[in-house]
Amino acid sequence: MKITLPDNSLRELPAGSSGYDLAKDIGPGLAKSAVAISIDGVQKDLHDEIPGDATVSIITINSDEGIEIMRHTLTAQVLARAIKNLYPKSKLAIGPTIENGFYYDVETDDAISVDDLEKIEAEMKKIIKSKSSITKKLVDKSDALKVFKSKKETYKEIIINESDQKDNFQLYYQDNEEFVDLCRGPHLPSLNFIGSFKLTKVSGAYWKGDAKNNMLTRIYGTAWNNDKDLNNYLNSIEEAQKRDHRKLGKEMDLFHFQDEAPGMVFWHPYGWNIYKTLQNFIRNKLDKNGYQEINTPQVVDRKLWEASGHWDKYRENMFITEIDEEQANEKRVNALKPMNCPCHVQVYNQGLRSYKDLPIRYAEFGSCHRYEASGTMHGLMRVRGFTQDDGHIFCTEDQIESETALFINLLSEIYSDLGFNEFDIKLSTRPEIRIGSDKIWDKAESALENAIKKLNYPYKIDEGDGAFYGPKLDFVLTDAIGREWQCGTFQADFNLPDRLNAEYVGEKGDKHHPVMIHRAILGSFERFIGILIENYSGKMPFWLAPQQVVVASIVSEVNDYAKEVQKLLIEKGIRSEIDLRNEKISYKVREHSSKKVPIILAIGKNEKNDKTVSIRRIGSNDTEVVELNKALKTIITENSVKF
Q: What is the DSSP string of 95-150?
A: --EETTEEEEEEE-SS---GGGHHHHHHHHHHHHHT--BEEEEEE-HHHHHHHHHH
Q: How far apart are CA 79 and CA 153, in angstroms?
A: 16
What sign does the dihedral 267-271-276-279 (CA atoms) show?
negative
Query: Which of 6-15, 227-236, 277-286 has the weakest average pLDDT?
Result: 6-15
71 is catalytic: no
Whether the upstream peptide bond of residue 342 has omega within 30° of 0, thus cis, is no
Q: List Cβ neighbours of 130 (8 Å cut-off, separation of 6 or more).
A: 174, 175, 191
Q: How far apart are CA 106 and CA 93, in angstroms?
A: 5
Q: How far apart are CA 90 and CA 214, in angstroms?
A: 14
Question: C-alpha distances in angstroms, 575 versus 1, 244, 269, 301, 528?
Answer: 76, 25, 11, 42, 21
487 is catalytic: no
pLDDT tens-digit readout, 561-583: 999 999 999 999 999 999 999 99
Q: Catalytic pick from 72, 246, 369, 518?
A: 518
Q: Catalytic pick from 392, 430, 575, 616?
A: 392
Q: Catalytic pick from 302, 337, 370, 588?
A: 370
Q: List Cβ neighbours of 524 (8 Å cut-off, separation of 6 or more).
A: 383, 386, 387, 388, 389
**What pLDDT, on a 0 to 100 scale, did the predictor assign at position 636?**
93
Q: Which of 338, 247, 307 is nearest to 537 (CA)?
A: 247
**What pLDDT, on a 0 to 100 scale, did the predictor assign at position 546?**
96
Is 351's pLDDT higher than 80?
A: yes
pLDDT tens-digit readout, 63-114: 999 999 999 999 999 999 999 999 999 999 999 999 899 999 999 988 999 9
HEC string for 264-280? CCEECHHHHHHHHHHHH
Domain segments of the chain as ranges: 2-60, 65-238, 284-298+337-535, 547-640
DSSP secondary structure code for residue 415 in this structure = H
Backbone angles phi, psi at 613, to 5 degrees: -140, 150
CATH class name, domain 547-640: alpha beta
Q: Which of 220, 217, 188 is nearest to 205 (CA)?
A: 217
Q: Which of 423, 424, 410 is nearest to 459 (CA)?
A: 424
More confident residue, 124 or 466: 124
Q: Catalytic pick from 183, 341, 343, 395?
A: 341
**What pLDDT, on a 0 to 100 scale, did the predictor assign at position 467?**
83
Domain 284-298+337-535 fold is: BirA Bifunctional Protein; domain 2 (3.30.930)
Is 328's pLDDT higher than 70?
A: no
Q: Catalytic pick from 105, 181, 389, 390?
A: 390
472 is catalytic: yes
Which of helix, strand or coil describes residue 498?
helix
**What pLDDT, on a 0 to 100 scale, did the predictor assign at position 89?**
93
Query: Which of 54-58, 298-302, 310-314, 318-322 has the weakest average pLDDT?
Result: 310-314
HEC string for 12-66? ECCCCCEHHHHHHHHCHHHHHHEEEEEECCEEEECCCECCCCEEEEEEECCCHHH
**What pLDDT, on a 0 to 100 scale, did the predictor assign at position 362?**
98
Cβ atoms of 118 and 97 closer than 8 Å: no
Tell me, what amino acid is at 18? S
Tell me, what amino acid is at 562? A
**What pLDDT, on a 0 to 100 scale, did the predictor assign at position 165?**
87
Q: How far apart are CA 291 and CA 273, in angstroms?
A: 24
Q: How far apart are CA 534 and CA 528, in angstroms?
A: 10
344 is catalytic: no
CA triplet 405, 411, 417: central angle to 5 degrees?
A: 140
341 is catalytic: yes
Cβ atoms of 562 and 553 closer than 8 Å: yes
Q: How far apart are CA 562 and CA 497, in angstroms?
A: 59
Q: How far apart are CA 72 and CA 193, in angstroms?
A: 12
| Mean pLDDT value of segment 311-321 | 87
Read off the pLDDT band of 642 (50, 70, 90): low
Q: What is the largest CA-CA distance in the chain?
A: 96
Ranges of beta strands (E only) in 466-575 are: 472-478, 484-493, 504-505, 511-512, 515-524, 549-553
pTM of the model: 0.83
Is 440's pLDDT higher than 90?
A: no
| Mean pLDDT value of segment 247-254 | 96
Q: How far apart are CA 400 and CA 452, in angstroms?
A: 12
Cβ atoms of 574 and 565 closer than 8 Å: no
Which of helix, strand or coil describes residue 548?
coil
Is 472's pLDDT higher than 70?
A: yes
- HSE at residue 307, side-chain half, CA atoms within 13 A, is 16
Which residues in 144-153 are b (16+ Cβ under 10 Å) and which e?
bbebbeeeeb
Read off the pLDDT band of 375 (50, 70, 90): confident
CATH code, residues 2-60: 3.10.20.30
Read off the pLDDT band of 151 (50, 70, 90): very high
369 is catalytic: no
DSSP secondary structure code for residue 260 in this structure = T
| Mean pLDDT value of segment 436-456 | 87
pLDDT tens-digit readout, 583-634: 999 999 999 999 999 999 999 999 999 999 999 999 888 899 999 999 999 9
Q: How far apart are CA 475 and CA 400, in angstroms?
A: 17
Query: 65-238: CATH homologous superfamily?
Result: Threonyl-trna Synthetase; Chain A, domain 2 (3.30.980.10)
72 is catalytic: no
Phi and psi based region of residue 537 (left: phi greater than 0; alpha: psi -120 to 50; beta: remaining): left
